[in-house]
Amino acid sequence: MSTSQPERAVARTQVIMQSTLALAQESGYAKLSIEAVAARAGVGKHTIYRRWPSKGLLFLDSLLSLNEPVLDFPDTGDVLADLRQQTYAAVDLLANPPWGPLYQSLVGEAQHDPAVAAGLSERFIRPQTDRTVARLKSAQDQGQVAPDFDLDLVMAILSGPLYFRLLITQEPMTHDYVDRIFEALFAGLSPRG
């Protein structure tokens, strides 16, 4: 049975993205090049450049094609327990290969390439933020979160401490770290009244 042209195009895209991730894992993102991806995928480099104008944008598509970062919330009825589980899942992803180190490289590249930063923000962070805010809004409606808590800040406040470890101090991220952050955030910094 012969494959159609669109099927071959989809298959070729998959091979290019798999080659990109394989090379990034083997040699590190810094040494990744479109030439090397083309050689590994068995395509001409212009085939890649026609669709991806930069190594960073190719890497962004390849990483998001893994489909792992969906990070859906569990739904147990206890929204705060669900939020904690979802944060555990984020930490498990960020703290381990292959996804963690690849994502770290992507954020690194976003600092040098505004198109990568925009894609990361719109295609990965924005949908995650929308889901998190919707879930916290539901917690707020049920009286589990302070009624005046500024929900627009929720991603910055909950995931900021994770990114601080991942990107700045590069200390290990664990479930225990998540528990300590949750405890501090829910208690607040103010002296108890």
Residues forming the site for its own copies (CB under 8 A): 28-30, 104-105, 107-113, 117, 120-121, 125, 143-150, 153, 155-157, 159-165, 167-170, 180-181, 183-192
Q: How far is the CB of 105 from its own copies (least distance, A)?
A: 6
Grouping H, G, I as helix, E, B as strand and the rest as coil, residue 71 is: coil
Q: How far is the CB of 149 from its own copies (least distance, A)?
A: 6
Q: Which is nearer to its own copies, 43 or 57 (CB)?
A: 57
Q: How far is the CB of 8 from its own copies (least distance, A)?
A: 34
Angle between helix axes 99-110 and 5-27 (nearest 10 degrees) is 90
Burial class (CB in 10 A: 0-12, 13-18, 19+), 116: buried
Alpha helices in the chain (DSSP H): 5-27, 34-41, 45-51, 55-64, 79-94, 99-110, 114-120, 126-141, 154-163, 175-187
Q: How far is the CB of 123 from its own copies (least distance, A)?
A: 13
Q: Which is nearer to its own copies, 22 or 43 (CB)?
A: 22
Q: Which is nearer to its own copies, 1 or 150 (CB)?
A: 150
